[in-house]
Chain A
Amino acid sequence: MTAVQKAADDPVLQIKGLCVALAGRGGKQLLRDVDIEVKAGEITCVVGESGSGKSLTAYSVMGLLDPESLRCTGGEIMIEGENVLTATPRRLRELRATSMSLIFQEPMTALNPVERIGDQIEEVLEIHCSDDARTRRRRILEMLEAVHLPDPKRIFDSYPHQLSGGQRQRVIICMALILNPKLLIADEPTTALDVSTQKQILALIRELQQKFNTAVLFITHDFGVVVDVADNVVVMNQGEVVEAGPRDTILRTPRNDYTRMLVSSVPSLVPRSRKSVTEDVVLSITGLSKTFVRRRLLRPTTVVEAAVDCDLTLHRSEILGIVGQSGSGKSTLARCIIGLETPSAGRIVLAGEELVNARGNAFRERFQRIQMVFQDPYRSLNPRVRVGESIIEGPTNFGVPRTVAMQRAKGLMELVDLPVSALDRFPHQFSGGQRQRISIARALMMEPEVLVADEAVSALDVSVQARILKLLESIRVETGVGLLFITHDLRVAAEICDRVIVMNKGRVVEHGSAEAVLVHPRDPYTRALIDAAPGRHWDFRNFRPL
């Protein structure tokens, strides 16, 4: 083997036996013996659920651990043969951007809002190389071009708020790659973006990585993304690497039980065929519109049409999915139905009775029949109130005696698979999945006819998500409640919904059975949405490509 070949085969990044613990004597170990290798021209995906230590690994490589609270207790991180952990702060600064760079998750906050894009990128060049101003500008414009931003000269002089989320992420990628680093670390770079933008950004990272022969350490929780970008996969759980190998090996024949469980928890994009629900209609909505009008002094009034002329019907014990990207109006529709927003026009009929938006008691009455589960289980429970008190709040508002309500709450705890003792504890003593179970129990306490779930599983890890979906399914069977399930995730919709409606820019663009919509979409928007879903060619449940 020649020296040149050997150099090419040497990994750019080599993490050996990395251990990180909370600072202080006997601090809890957060990372144990992590080994990861990334070679030039390869993308290695680190996957794991929240708390698995994947982001911590990325931050260790960049030397960004907060020494006040975290410390490295062992191992080494070699970048091209140089140990980052023992590097001086000065050397570390030199290495950043030239040898390694980082793309953050949140494109909204990673850029300085008061500085022009061009100036922010220029700062990197000013610090690390001796180019004159003309050359710097030329290099920046070239790089803006390379990340496919339209009209680089205009972008150069723009402020971050003038760009969309996807454009900002392109700017950050441009900034990260302008000095052609050997290693790029991407920490969930597409998690905050819509699927269609995500698809473009993933394609861009692939393209640039091949063009510059960069080694990429790609942190993600989404197996769909893994299928689309990874060469190698490292699966992490609770601070340890449980399995590592080439992508196809991990996805087809995972050896570790945890990996198997994780991969098979990812719902398929292809819905099972289901019998259509033939029960009575419980909720029907006709011509519902919601317009937000903002009147301002001396400035033109802004009008946002969040929902336009939406129709839908929901049967008893049916799960109807509402899918769409952010800003499509699906949440507004849900909030109008539950009554948190007053619709501008349209009729909402619940079991033959029109819901009015009168204030006072007539308005409160509806909540005995229609309930909601919120997106973020960390914010939808009052942290100062015991779980039991939170759960019985609804019934006691409508005159059910406390003891009767508590009795019902105990029964429901069993239904949502939590111990009865949970009632005496506070929300912070529970994990996200458990809190979402509590929220579901709280909604079911009212024995509603319709349950609105607004992105109820979006904030949860995939294995927890799978269990919550199972729970919702069993609740539908047991209680016959009609479920309105709002989600941006087509896989989740395919997994649980009988029928699906697709929304775009406030309008319903397609509706039908889950199979009809997701397998044979008619509307071009639906088709684009399905096409953009990451990993759509892989059947995770059966460990094989579709």
Chain B
Amino acid sequence: MSSLEESGPARYEDAAPPGAKAVLRAAVTSIPAWLAAAVMICVVAMAISAPLIATASPTAIAPAERLLGPTSTHFLGTDALGRDTFSRIVYGSRLSLTVGAGVTLFSVGIGLIIGVFAGYFRAFDMVVMRAMDGLMAIPGILLAIALIALTGASLTTVLVAITVPEIPRVVRLVRGVILNVRSEAFVEAAITLGSRTRRILWRHLIPSTVAPLTVQATFIFASAILTESTLSFLGAGLPSEIPSWGNMMADGRMYFQLKPGLVFFPGFALAMTLLSVNILGDVLRDRLDPKMEKRT
């Protein structure tokens, strides 16, 4: 009789161990993910140990050595003020990662709180979501430029200016998940067990948002780095003596035909970082999304 109790639809855990072909295919398809992870590790290591890696001070001006090509002391040459391009790229990764991590942390944190409230307390929903719709209607970069123009450029204002336009996206995502899960029978069961709202939120609703939020966080991370570079490039970001990939490209633009490396090298660092973050985000999505999981 007990064997009957166990009968049920075939589970996918029962699937056979994959053959050699499948293993090979899995290995080949996972190459980009490994490369992306390697690039990210390099960038993070670069940011952490910037003083050790950099060959010169990123802000030291040396008019005699300006606009040099790659030499033994300056791997990637120098810019119009004689600053070492390699060292500036190394220090620039610090700023990019700080902005990426900061914006991700704040926008996910604030977005999660607002999203949970909007999704669970229906009275909030109308008001909050209309405010979010309003925010989303303004192009993020314009909003950021306006905010910085009002308050002046500093790391804090750049962080705030990039965070604010990202929040509505997180709120929408969280609200959607909460709305979905709150009609599940296990949430109703928790209500009939006399659970307080706080417990229902923490135990039954918020854990469901972790997977989609993690994926969204990687995209916010990439988009924040890009937005910071764009702001710097447009001259609306941090002052130009501070090493940032966007600033470097803006400065190098004038000498692009003479020394294309001044734009190319920071641009390459930016592009590789963004590509890696996005690939890792895709990998996370495939791993965390239950629908994608079933198909593999």
Q: Please determine whether B186 and A238 come into contact, CB atoms closer than 8 angstroms.
A: no
| B: interface residue count bin | 20 to 34
Q: Please determine whether A340 and B192 come into contact, CB atoms closer than 8 angstroms.
A: yes
Q: Please determine whether A375 and B9 come into contact, CB atoms closer than 8 angstroms.
A: no
Interface size on A, residues (CB 8 A): 48
Question: Which residues on B sit within 8 Å (CB–CB) of A525?
Answer: none
State the CA gap A375–B189 with chains docked (Å).
Answer: 11
State whether A434 and B5 are in contact (beta carbons under 8 Å apart), knowing that A340-B191, A379-B185 are contacts in the complex: yes
Chain B nearest CB, measured from A343 CB (Å): 16
Q: Please determine whether A367 and B189 come into contact, CB atoms closer than 8 angstroms.
A: no
In chain A, what residue has the closest Cβ to B199?
A397
CB of A338 within 8 Å of the partner chain: yes
Chain A nearest CB, measured from B191 CB (Å): 7
Q: Please determine whether B17 and A338 come into contact, CB atoms closer than 8 angstroms.
A: no
Q: Please determine whether B16 and A23 come into contact, CB atoms closer than 8 angstroms.
A: yes
Q: Please determine whether A374 and B14 come into contact, CB atoms closer than 8 angstroms.
A: no
CB pairs A–B below 8 angstroms (14 shown): A23-B15, A25-B16, A28-B15, A50-B7, A51-B8, A52-B7, A237-B7, A238-B7, A364-B194, A371-B193, A374-B185, A379-B184, A393-B203, A398-B194
A380-422 near B? 1/0 per residue, CB < 8 Å? 1111110000000110011000000000000000000000000
CB of B22 within 8 Å of the partner chain: yes
Q: Please determine whether B203 and A24 come into contact, CB atoms closer than 8 angstroms.
A: no
CB of B81 within 8 Å of the partner chain: no
CB of A368 within 8 Å of the partner chain: yes
CB of A300 within 8 Å of the partner chain: no
Chain B nearest CB, measured from A73 CB (Å): 12
State whether A385 and B188 are in contact (beta carbons under 8 Å apart), knowing that A28-B14, A397-B195, A463-B4 are contacts in the complex: no
By Cβ-Cβ distance, the 10 closest A-B pairs, closest first, are A24-B16, A27-B16, A394-B193, A367-B194, A380-B185, A379-B185, A397-B194, A382-B186, A364-B194, A28-B14
Q: Please determine whether B19 and A24 come into contact, CB atoms closer than 8 angstroms.
A: yes
CB of B52 within 8 Å of the partner chain: no
In chain A, what residue has the closest Cβ to B203?
A385
State the total of A-B contacts with C-beta under 8 angstroms. 106
Within 8 A of B (CB), among A77-113: none
State whether A464 and B195 are in contact (beta carbons under 8 Å apart), knowing that A27-B15, A393-B190 are contacts in the complex: no
Question: Which residues on A sit within 8 Å (CB–CB) of B4?
Answer: 49, 463-464
State the CA gap A49–B184 with chains docked (Å).
Answer: 26
- The chain B residues found within 8 Å of chain A, CB to CB, are 4-10, 14-19, 22, 184-186, 188-196, 199, 203-204, 207-208
Question: Which residues on B sit within 8 Å (CB–CB) of A375?
Answer: 185
Contacts A365-B194, A463-B4 given; 17 further ones with Cβ under 8 A? A24-B15, A24-B17, A24-B18, A24-B19, A25-B18, A25-B19, A26-B16, A28-B16, A52-B7, A338-B192, A340-B192, A375-B185, A382-B190, A393-B190, A393-B203, A397-B194, A446-B194
Q: Please determine whether B8 and A432 come into contact, CB atoms closer than 8 angstroms.
A: yes
Within 8 A of B (CB), among A311-361: 338-340
Question: Which residues on B sit within 8 Å (CB–CB) of A27?
Answer: 15-16
Q: Please determine whether A374 and B15 come into contact, CB atoms closer than 8 angstroms.
A: no
Within 8 A of B (CB), among A482-523: none
Question: Which residues on B sit within 8 Å (CB–CB) of A433?
Answer: 5
Most chain A C-beta atoms within 10 Å of own C-beta, residue among B18, B189, B190: B189
Question: Which residues on B sit within 8 Å (CB–CB) of A464?
Answer: 4-5
Chain A nearest CB, measured from B160 CB (Å): 34
Within 8 A of B (CB), among A1-27: 22-27
In chain A, what residue has the closest Cβ to B14?
A28
Chain B nearest CB, measured from A76 CB (Å): 23
In chain B, what residue has the closest Cβ to A389?
B203
State the CA gap A380–B185 with chains docked (Å).
Answer: 5
State the CA gap A182–B178 with chains docked (Å).
Answer: 50
Question: Which residues on A sit within 8 Å (CB–CB) of B185?
Answer: 374-376, 379-380
State the CA gap A237–B4 with chains docked (Å).
Answer: 9
